Structure 1
Amino acid sequence: MALNVAIIGAGFGGLCMAIQLRKAGVTSYTIFEKAERLGGTWRDNTYPGAACDVPSHLYSYSFEQGHDWSRRYPRQPEILAYLDRCAGKYGVHRRLRLGAEVTAAVFDEAAGRWRVTTADGEHGPFDVVVSGVGQLNRPRLPDIPGLGEFEGTSFHSARWDHGHDLAGRRVAVIGNGSSAAQFIPRVAPVVARLDVYQRTPSWVIPKPDGAYGPGLRAAFRHLPPLRSANRRRVNRFIESVVYPALVDGWSRPLMTRRATEHLRKQVPDPALRARLTPAYPIGCKRIVLDDDYYPALTRPNVEVVTDPITRVTRHGIETAGGTLREVDTIIFATGFLTTDFLAPIEVVGRGGRRLGEAWKDGAEAYLGMAVPGFPNLFLLYGPNTNLGHNSIILMIEAQVRYIMGCLPLLGAHGPMEVRPAAMDAWRRALEGALARTVWQADCASWYKNAAGRVTNNWPGPAAAYRRITRSPRPGSFTFG
């Protein structure tokens, strides 16, 4: 299979693609990574307490389950070490170009191939481009008047300033999602005062975390069937219990009650508890798994501020009503630019069509992977493939398997482009399924674009997506 493949990004998606290419005997590929090391979101997010909310044995490749996980839920350093180990074991380091940020990918119709441009020049030609940039890689900063006037230190949680000592500081945290819930309990005990600015409360449920003892770690390490059985057990529970809560199934009242009891037990003050109680159905926004977040908010040096921010001053943050809280540090836990997908990369397809223009009303792709007018371009973790309940690794592996099935087809028949009719049918099916999910409720979340369209999430079980993408249907594509 003499194809030259460009992979953009060296996180879970890009590395999985590279490993499967290598296992299939394809060595003519290049991984372009803008940073100076691999790891994707697990390289970027080094804030205190950074961890995954998917169990360890499920948040790993199915073909590389042997990692000696120390905990039920993996923490950032261990996940990054896992990715390093996978890259080393399968020898993909040799095809990895670090510090090579892709700025453009242009399809050459005459040659039927892609040219990729990085900051240091043009590369290619490539027969195939696979995007592994993900959805959580570009921090989003709020548009608050006066932000540039602040004279203290400010940074986003995904760009944590480890050189800035927080001990004894007056700190403001803007945002209260999963990242904030993880680092606030680590920050609150060391700062003089912590103001947590909350626009909308999150649903929080207990996180059944804990370290694996030496005996169990040894068993998982030396008994692969036990390890695989645990992975299947966790997956079955998530698919059968957590997923139904997202589609108004039997478990939604159960999860709501569990979250409500968790809040009641951990926050004795009724006034604070009222501020932390969401007014939208559970699952509309990403559910937070944490045992330490609520207790941190009850500390005497912590205040949960629900008044809207009106402006940032030189020395603090002013809210509606004119209250000014002076701080010397602002930490943004405001998430990422999730709905822009490949931006700011300039992707140009057939006939000079630009991907940004094609997606002006919202990003979309056939099976989350292919876009009409952009031959031989495949997306990993693309539009409508994020999960609100399970491990994204399951989706990535399904997509990589699908792309690997496409390579012989395009190798034999020339450039491969999804038919507009196939895209239209997929859109209709997707919209019908999304209409039955909790994400359509009235809440602001990173699952939706500015117009309120759900562009990020897959509306079914992970198992359903894996069935749909088991093998490509040549009739959905044109060739040549």
Structure 2
Amino acid sequence: MSVRVDHDLVIVGSGFSGIGMAIAAKNRGRDFIVLEKSDEIGGTWRDNRYPGCECDVPSHLYSFSFELNPYWSKAYATADEIQDYLLYCVEKYSLREHIRFGTSVERMTYDEGLAAWHLTVSTGTGEVRQLVAGAVALGVGALHEPVIPQLPGLESFRGELLHTAAWDPGTTVVGKRVGVVGTGCSGVQIIPPLAEDARHLTVFQRTPAWVLPKVDPAYPDWLIDQYEKRPWLMKAHRTKLRAAGDVRVGAFTKQPAALKAASKAAVAHMRSAIKDPQLRAKLTPDYTMGCKRATMSNSYYPALAADNVTVETSPIKQVDAGGVTAADGTVHELDLLVFATGFDVTGSYRHLNITGLGGHTLDTDWADDIRTYYGVTAPGYPNLFFLLGPNTVLGHTSVVLMIEAQIGLISKLLDERDERGATAVQVRPQIVPAHMKRLDERSAKSVWESGGCTSWYLDDEGRNRMLWPGSVGEYERKLSRPELVDYEFTGSVS
């Protein structure tokens, strides 16, 4: 490859995707680096450290298949435990020497003559540098760019203002009047610990969540010891968890009516904790379970029923120096306002300013509709790969399974490119429309598009552009045995 290329592969991001891709690249002997804008690895699990932050996927399934962890403390791991696991992987596979911390990608432009990407990167010291990469793998994730609602008067608020993804660990709510905007997954998790300590907590709810009981037992020492000494037991447990997760996908994608039993369990769960009929009415969803991501908690409903908690369903009309005024005129005086409002799921790519073949920009190409091939490659962007990209997030099981399948495909495509003596690989543009049409047809039958709600799963036109509308097993089969005719291998090594 040309000496003008600095690295064979540049990986952007050091969460699960970036770390997994780095391990694969190292195992294959590739020359690579990882660019990480922060001063530590971890991605989502580095940034989201708010009180109560946990994973809603079973611990033993939320790990790399080649690096199982017998030491999870309970069924659903906390953010701290997951971050510790990722740190362990970085040290075990000696990745730290390949990571460039405090380095943000400002722009990426494809050079067709060189068959490489020019990256403009900035460091924490303000230095701007240029890098040339033979290929780029984007592990920036969808849960990366926090959404701050554009509320009238927000700039005038004199209290503390935080997003759950940027929680200050020194923050205390003891004796404070606290407001939380949002009742999705992060809201359901953070509200109980805030309610426990706050003088008063106001929950600003736009749409009630489906909340199921959480079966989250601690793993006893004897079981951890067994998993450590007999890894096959741990693998069997993981296999069972995986099978249970993939069984559920049919209810989301083909038969939403199958979710009725789970809905009844959620309603019973709410009724056991909420005795006030007016509060029950506020908290009862009017859409099909699964249309938004269902949540699990044993403390959420008891927290909302507490004497120091108010659930406000009237929309926010105005924010002023002292708090929030609802549309019905109710004034809520606040010392701290917390946004549990999720993420801009395409913003992670937008800020990279990616320009591909013919001067096309990814931001413009995806403005009307996002088009990729299995969420990994996009037409017009050779030697560029997405990890956990569009239509590859899951609502029923672990995304780490999807990440590993994508890493396998990227590795195969790069190996094939090199074995052919080519310099570039990209998906053939003509096959992508039919692929997206099939995804649209499958998604139209799903609860995400027919369940009667709006969610971050859907684009502005109501199309599912986030979730994979099928089982993990199906996705793995498609990527593990790719049809190489679907890809163009161009150029030659001089």
Which band: TM-score by shorter chain? over 0.9
Of residues 418, 443, 454, the one that matches 2:464 is 454
Partner of 1:6: 10
Q: SS of the residue aligned with 2:388? A: coil
Partner of 1:215: 222
Q: Distance in 1 between matches of 2:129 and 2:431?
A: 33
| Greater Cα shift, 436-445 or 44-53 | 436-445
Partner of 1:161: 168
Q: 1:67 to 1:107 in 2, by over 3 A?
A: farther
User: Given that residues 121 and 131 in structure 2 are in contact (C-alpha distance below 8 angstroms), is that contact kept between their aligned partners in structure 1?
Assistant: no
Partner of 1:297: 304
Q: Distance in 2 between matches of 1:340 and 1:248?
A: 32
Give CA deviations for 1:174-231 in whole Å, capped at 9, x if unaligned: 0011111111111111111000000000101111102100111111111111000000
The residue type paired with residue 302 of structure 1 is V
Q: Which runs of 5+ in 1 are unaligned?
A: none
Of residues 454, 479, 486, the one that matches 1:476 is 486
Q: Distance in 2 between matches of 1:321 and 1:47?
A: 31
Partner of 2:209: 202
**2:386 aligned with 1:383:** no
**2:468 aligned with 1:464:** no
Partner of 1:89: 92
Q: Distance in 1 between matches of 2:371 and 2:393?
A: 13
Partner of 2:377: 370
Partner of 2:140: 133
User: Given that residues 252 and 448 in structure 2 are in contact (C-alpha distance below 8 angstroms), is that contact kept between their aligned partners in structure 1?
Assistant: no
Partner of 1:55: 58
Q: Distance in 2 between matches of 1:247 and 1:161?
A: 42
The residue type paired with residue 437 of structure 1 is S
User: Given that residues 340 and 363 in structure 1 are in contact (C-alpha distance below 8 angstroms), is that contact kept between their aligned partners in structure 2?
Assistant: no
**2:78 aligned with 1:72:** no
Partner of 2:199: 192
Q: Which runs of 5+ in 2 are unaligned?
A: none
Partner of 1:110: 113
Give CA deviations for 1:399-453 in whole Å, capped at 9, x if unaligned: 0001111012222222112111211121111111111110103312111123322
**2:32 aligned with 1:29:** yes
| Greater Cα shift, 96-105 or 420-429 | 420-429
Of residues 437, 458, 477, the one that matches 2:446 is 437
Shift of 1:67: 4.2
User: Given that residues 246 and 252 in structure 1 are in contact (C-alpha distance below 8 angstroms), is that contact kept between their aligned partners in structure 2?
Assistant: no
| Greater Cα shift, 266-275 or 196-205 | 266-275
Shift of 1:265: 1.3
Q: SS of the residue aligned with 1:163? A: coil
Q: Distance in 1 between matches of 2:186 and 2:328?
A: 29
Of residues 12, 18, 22, the one that matches 2:22 is 18
Give CA deviations for 1:15-34 in whole Å, capped at 9, x if unaligned: 000001111222x1010001
Q: For 1:232-247, list aligned pairs within 5 A.
A: 232-241=239-248, 243-247=250-254
Q: Distance in 2 between matches of 1:90 and 1:250?
A: 46
Q: Percent identity?
A: 40
Give CA deviations for 1:108-150 in whole Å, capped at 9, x if unaligned: 1111111111113344321110000000011000011000000
Normalised by the length of structure 1, the TM-score is 0.97
Partner of 1:179: 186
Normalised by the length of structure 2, the TM-score is 0.95
Q: Distance in 2 between matches of 1:123 and 1:83?
A: 29
Q: For 1:216-365, list aligned pairs within 5 A.
A: 216-241=223-248, 243-248=250-255, 251-365=258-372
Shift of 1:242: 5.6
Give CA deviations for 1:371-402 in whole Å, capped at 9, x if unaligned: 11100100001001000111000000000001
Q: SS of the residue aligned with 1:304? A: strand
Q: 1:258 to 1:246 in 2, by over 3 A?
A: farther
